[in-house]
Every structure is written in structure tokens, then in C-alpha cells.
Amino acid sequence: MTFSIVARDGDAWGVVVASKFLSAGAVVPQVEMGVGAVATQAMARVAYRGELLAALARGESAQAALDAAVAADAGRGDRQVGVVGDGGAASWTGPGCMPWAGGRTGEGVSSAYAIQGNILVGPEVVEEMERAWLASAGDPLDARLLAALLAGDAAGGDARGRQSAAILAYEPGTGYDRCGVLADLRVDDHPDAPAELARIHSLHTLYFGAPEGVAPLEGELREEVTGLLVQVRARSADAAESVEATLEWWMGEVNLETRHALVGSTPACSRSCGGRRLSAARASARSRRGRRCGSTRRRRVRR
């Protein structure tokens, strides 16, 4: 009734899952940065999450930790679980899991993954998930996980349909206030949960992602940003206050403070899309007082 991928890529760890089950994200995943990640599903035993992470923290390999946890569980025949640690990846599918059920694991130089699913349309679901994971090498972990999930969904996913999806991923220095939460998003009940998770994830990346495409705030770019700040009626967008100060105020108002950037010690902005996104703010500026979080669309402006 569920398909998931548990993975590590460098210092990043995460799980993504989808299911014809209410709030799969409340049951399936658990991640501990620097230790490991676990997905428990089918007739899920939630205690596996803590047990496996504790074993990984003690230095056990993923396979040894999983073997011990499964051996001690009288209900193991109906369980499915994937685990990744510093010592590789492992997956278990009990013989009592409803068909199609199975999984795949793999390891790279600094990465590992465990893909598993049950009540799937067929093995092509995990095959396509693996293919998407391998093809996305070099992308951020959350993007890789989501690509794998969407590939599995496109291949047919859960044979009963769609209901919920979730992603949980950690990486040092990422997320809001650089707290290490790369992504922690859930869609608990939606007719197209994987696509809805992808939509929310795109917003999460906009608001909480790191600066990208950064260029110094000078020359033509500075003139463009100055004019656009005036158009959206940002506070003090005039000679009385610097462009940098006004831009920073605007970024805080529309919740883009995580997008701040510096080139050396000089304020910077996105030459590739900052101006375009700021210009899009004009239409939404009228409504942002009542809908602060929903008022920005895709304005990737940095300072």
C-alpha cells in the first residue's frame, strides 16, 4: 500500500513516501542527521524507526541492524522496511506483504539507497524509482528523492490509487535559519498527493532554499531592482534609503530572507531571475497584507 525511497547522499539523509493511506508521513519516515534514515511500511511497526537508528548510532551496519530488528519481531512476515546508514543500505519485504511487493538497494562512493513498495502495480515502480535516483546524481538530495517518487508514481505506484505523500530530509546548514532541515513536508489527504507534494516542495525551495545565480547588485541590475522596488511600493524606495536596505526590507516582508547572499562583502542579487520575479510582485503586492505567505509567487531576489 506504499512505496518509498530511503537514501543518503554525502552529508544529507532523507526519506520520501507515497501511499493510498491517510497521513503516511506520520508513520513511515524517520531521519537522524549523521546517523541514518528509516522507512517502515506495510503492516508498519513504528518501533523499527527508533530501534534501527539506535543500532546505526552504535556503529552497526544497515544490514546487521535490520537483520536483528526483523529477527526479534514476531510480525516480520507482514512488515516492509528500508534503512540507510553510514554502513550501507538494506531493505526487508516480508512474505506476507500484499503483491506486488519488493525492493532494491544500492550504494555509491558516498551514497546509498533502499527502495521498497507493496501493493504496487508491479516491479516497474521500484525499477523506475531506481532509474530516476541514479539519473539525478549531483542534484540536492530532496530533489533526487522527489524525482524518484514521481517516477514511481508515473509507473503506476500504489495499485489502489493515491492519498498521501511526504518527504523528510536533513542536511547540515540547509533550511530556514540553516537549521539542517532540508525538507519536512506532508500531504496527508489529497487525490493527487505526489504531485501536490512536488508543488509544495517547489514553494519550500523558493522560500527556504539557498541563494543561487548570484550577481553583484550593481550597474544595470541595480537600476532594474531599484525601479522594480518602486513599482511594488516597497518602503522608502527612494534616495532617502539605500537600495540594499530597501531590498532587504522587501525580502523580509515577502518571506525571502533565506535568499540573502553576499559576493565577498558586497550585497548581491540574482541576475538570472531576481528582476523578473520582483516585477511579478506588483500584482500580488495589493493582497500581501492579508495573505502574507501566499503573496509571493516566484521572486528569487537576493541581497
DSSP 98: P
pLDDT reported for residue 165: 98
pTM for the full predicted model: 0.84
Distance, in Å, from the CA atom of 140 to the CA atom of 300, rounded to the nearest integer, reads 18
Confidence at residue 264, expressed as pLDDT on a 0 to 100 scale:
53
List C-alpha distances in Å: 19 to 15, 158, 182. Answer: 13, 6, 22
At 268, the pLDDT band (50, 70, 90 cuts) reads low
Residue 267 or residue 256, greater confidence: 256
Cα dihedral sign, 89-95-97-99? positive
Cα–Cα distance between 125 and 253 in angstroms, integer? 43
Q: Provide the pLDDT for residue 272.
A: 35
The pLDDT tens digits of the residues spanning 43-86 come to 999 999 999 999 999 999 999 999 999 999 999 999 999 999 99
Tens of pLDDT, residue by residue over 124-137, are 999 999 999 999 99
Task: Measure the CA–CA gap between 244 and 298, rounded to whole angstroms.
Answer: 20
pLDDT of 286 strictly over 70: no
Q: What is the pLDDT of residue 250?
A: 86
Q: How many CA atoms lie within 13 A of 31 on its CB side?
A: 25
Which whole number is the average pLDDT over 235-257? 76
Question: pLDDT tier at 282 (50, 70, 90 boundaries)?
Answer: very low
Beta strand spans in 75-206 (E): 79-85, 88-93, 102-107, 111-118, 164-170, 181-187
Helix-then-strand count for the chain, H and E: 8, 13
Q: How confident is the model at residue 277 (pLDDT cuts 50, 70, 90)?
A: very low
Confidence of residue 258 (pLDDT cuts 50, 70, 90): confident
Mean pLDDT, rounded, of the chain: 86
| 160 pLDDT higher than 50 | yes
